[in-house]
Structure 1
């Protein structure tokens, strides 16, 4: 994918472990991601973003209840996805339904979804890639992940990555309005 995921921490930057310790001291309502070793507070999402995320969570949970009742879909779960100086927070994840009260993080996710907004257009230092593409690369590298959804917030388009026997297959689904 072109993004180096296993990077040693550089001077003045936070490691993934340091970032998790930093997060523990922050209020629960704050959302943070680690981008190239720099903690970034995330602005509240738009109402459109929340509507898409809520609809997707509901649809996934309906399907999982019928097909895989040992899994659930959650918005903004804590997942140990990143490596090196990256700790993204997916908008939706499919995870194991069994978890402990008070648990914040899980080690694996089977589906990872991102509602792509204008804030995801920022370029990540030293990679030149958009933050949404860096996140997608990290999601695809997660060993338990079976599917990645990148849903565009401002147009009717979704990129679907599915892990199959030979590797990942990617399709972009779009509705073009005339």
Structure 2
């Protein structure tokens, strides 16, 4: 009896990039474990947190020749089948020719209830494979809480901050009060 061989249909980054180029601009797609995943529009509270954070990070990044940007895909040579799009990316160097960064200094994921397990699981594992990444922020949308993942040599440390805490960012020569991230929101 002959058995048909099943072809692996998972995409790698190069194939995903070609595929995504033909999608409408209004659509945002991530590649997760080789499968394209359409991102739903975030809620207003989520977007307010993203805007507050991006503004504060950009103010710190700009004097160093860096910038904070939303919506960039992150690429790692160590894992070709995942291209997440964090809420905020800080990167330095010349502008990218496309929307994919291999060299982020900092990424921030603002958690939504529907994406929490993915953002705190698979994506953290992925981000830890990006050599240039020094800081990963996990920002909660339903409470004033920020987890700061920082690369220390070959390991990572994690620190949790509450509303009255202050996010020290020596990589950007500054700090961001957690309260500023939640400015304009009931916490």
TM-score tier by shorter-chain length is 0.7 to 0.9
Aligned equivalents of 2:163, 2:55: Cα separation in 1: 22
Query: 1:75–1:93: 8 Å Cα contact kept in structure 2?
Result: yes
Partner of 1:95: 91
Q: Say if 1:47 and 1:84 are closer, same or farther in 2 by CA, change over 3 A.
A: same
Indicate the SS of the match to 1:26.
coil
CA deviation string 1:104-139 (max 9, x = no partner): 223210001000102214xxxxxxxx3112111111
**RMSD value, Cα:** 2.0
TM-score by length of 2: 0.76
TM-superposed CA distance for 1:35, in Å, is 1.6
Equivalence map 1:1-178=2 (5 Å): 11-66=8-63, 68=64, 70-81=65-76, 83-96=79-92, 98-99=94-95, 103-121=98-116, 130-132=117-119, 133-165=121-153, 167-175=155-163
Q: Say if 1:166 and 1:138 are closer, same or farther in 2 by CA, change over 3 A.
A: closer
| Unaligned runs of at least 5 residues, structure 1 | 1-9, 122-129
Aligned equivalents of 1:118, 1:172: Cα separation in 2: 18
TM-superposed CA distance for 1:56, in Å, is 0.5
Q: Which has the larger radius of gyration?
A: 2
TM-score by length of 1: 0.79
